Amino acid sequence: MILAFIAMVTAGFFYLLHRIDQSVRPIYLVAVEDDMIELATLLSSDIAMRSEDGVLNLEGFRELISKAMWRRFEAEIYDRTKDRIEFGVYVVDQQGIVIFDSLDQEKCGLDYSEWIDVRRTLAGHYGARASWEVDPTSPDQRVQVFYVASPIQVEGRVLGAVSVYKTTTKGFSYFRQVRRETMRGAILVSVLVLVWGLMITHWINRPIQQLTEYAQTIRDGGRAATPLLGSREMESMAHAFDEMREALEGKAYVEQYVQTLTHEIKSPLSAIRGAAELLEEPMTEERHARFVANIRGEADRIQQLIDRLLELSAIENRKGLRRIDPVAFDDLIREILDELNPVIESKQLVVTFDADERKKTKGERFLLKLLLRNLLQNACEFTPTAGAIHIYYGEQSIHIHDGGPGIPDYALNRVFERFYSLQRPETGKKSSGLGLSIVRQVAELHQGDIHLRNHRDGGAEAVFVFRLLSR
């Protein structure tokens, strides 16, 4: 669009300049010729009044032209000062022989009968011509001289002709100056039009680009707020996009969750059904208690799955943070360690924390605590009894390094998927697989990143990078 606009503007202005160039030159020549024929007619009438009996009389005429040629004056014509007459006059007789030349008397006696201005005028027609001649003031240059002739008529006979001539080069220099000024103005207007066109193009393209980026972010599964596009029409389109996204996401969300929940609940329900059927048979008190414990355990598993699903759903439906407060990471981590203390003591874990009071940020404290609690709880579950957990800060990150077996290569790219879980080393059981999904959603809400990788010294390391960290 921009290239086409530039090409159209450039072509339009060049065409305009070409038309001006082609139009102004003839107009100038017409204006000059009009004045020259009037002057030639005036001079030929003066000679005709002085001539009698078929003989040309130039005595008074020579004095008139001589005085006029030598007279100096000062006339301010716009930005140009004119101080003398700039035209010449020559007179020819009936045969076309020069009998007077105001600028060069040496030309007297020359035969001009073949010049078109003289020939046509003596034949009773209008005569004019333009010739390129050597400039008397600069012999190495050529100038264009324009000639206009008028017949000398005495008692109905043409006794000769008066031809007024003038160089048009200086006039055309004014025309070239006008053309240069017009070119500058055209270039300035072109630049202004192009700048305005670029601004309009940006005003149109920017909202489209924002909508495209918004759609691509949604397509890639990212979280994006509805863009602010400025104009009413674009805002309406953005809201329509957002409503369509919410409708489609809501439908897909429900379908996915129903399918996943059905799949995840199927296993514990089967276990509960089997245990209930076995309880109807005679058995010892010990077996009875074990089956009851299994039923309770599977029921707790279903309850935990539903609670986590509701928790994740509430976070995923958020478009932004509800409340932003200053949060000190040291206080948050110590609070979480106090809550996990029973697990830490029961497994005799050694937890080291390199505190740094300068590490503070702005965010929603409840969600940040939820994120760090899930990471620390995973570290406790995967670290074997009497193992070690190390918590420390990076420049803009929090690192939690556990003492577990690490992450298998096949699971590295799937650990943040919903319902994907690995077996705990000591119990062999899996969790709901929703904890790390919650962690990722909270990180995205805070414009941060979350990584889970194998540490070079063994075990796994969770890294939470918080983009809005401020000291």
What are the 10-residue block averages of pLDDT along the chain, 471 residues in total? 74 76 72 88 92 86 87 80 86 94 90 94 92 76 88 90 84 63 76 79 76 73 64 71 65 54 64 77 81 78 68 62 82 89 88 87 83 88 90 90 88 78 71 76 83 89 75 46
Alpha carbon distances (Å) from 379 to 135, 344, 345: 101, 10, 14
Question: pLDDT at position 471, please?
Answer: 46
Whole-angstrom distance, CA of residue 50 vs CA of residue 151: 14
Residue of 356, 408, 362 lying closest to 382 (CA atoms): 408
263: CB partners within 8 A, 6+ apart: 419
Alpha carbon distances (Å) from 188 to 30, 184, 194, 335: 31, 6, 10, 68
CB-count burial class (<10 Å; 0-12, 13-18, 19+) for 441: buried
Residue 154 in contact with residue 48, Cβ under 8 Å? Answer: yes
Alpha carbon distances (Å) from 308 to 37, 175, 218, 341: 104, 85, 24, 22
Enter the tokens of residue 255: 């379908």
**Taking each helix axis from N to C terminus, what angle separates 2-50 and 59-70, rounded to the nearest 10 degrees?**
140
SS3 percent helix, strand, coil of the chain, rounded to 5, is 55, 20, 30
Q: What is the CATH code for 325-465?
A: 3.30.565.10
Amino acid at 289: A
Which residue, chain included where needed, has tokens 């940006």?
202
Residue 25 in contact with residue 175, Cβ under 8 Å? Answer: yes
Question: pLDDT at position 368, please?
Answer: 86
Whole-angstrom distance, CA of residue 416 vs CA of residue 418: 7
CB-count burial class (<10 Å; 0-12, 13-18, 19+) for 165: buried
Chain centroid offset of residue 279 CA: 73
Amino acid at 269: L
For CATH 1.10.287, list the domain ranges present in the chain: 250-316
Enter the tokens of residue 154: 């005495």
Whole-angstrom distance, CA of residue 228 vs CA of residue 218: 16
Question: pLDDT at position 203, please?
Answer: 76
Is 2-179 a CATH 2.40.50.140 domain?
A: no
Amino acid at 295: I
Say how many C-beta atoms besides its own lie within 10 A of residue 25's C-beta. 15
Question: pLDDT at position 292, please?
Answer: 82
Task: Say if strands 388-393 and 350-353 run parallel, antiparallel, or are unpaired.
Answer: parallel
Amino acid at 177: Q
For CATH 3.30.565.10, list the domain ranges present in the chain: 325-465
pTM for this predicted structure = 0.43
Question: pLDDT at position 140, please?
Answer: 76
Is 250-316 a CATH 3.30.70 domain?
A: no
Whole-angstrom distance, CA of residue 369 vs CA of residue 329: 9
Amino acid at 228: L
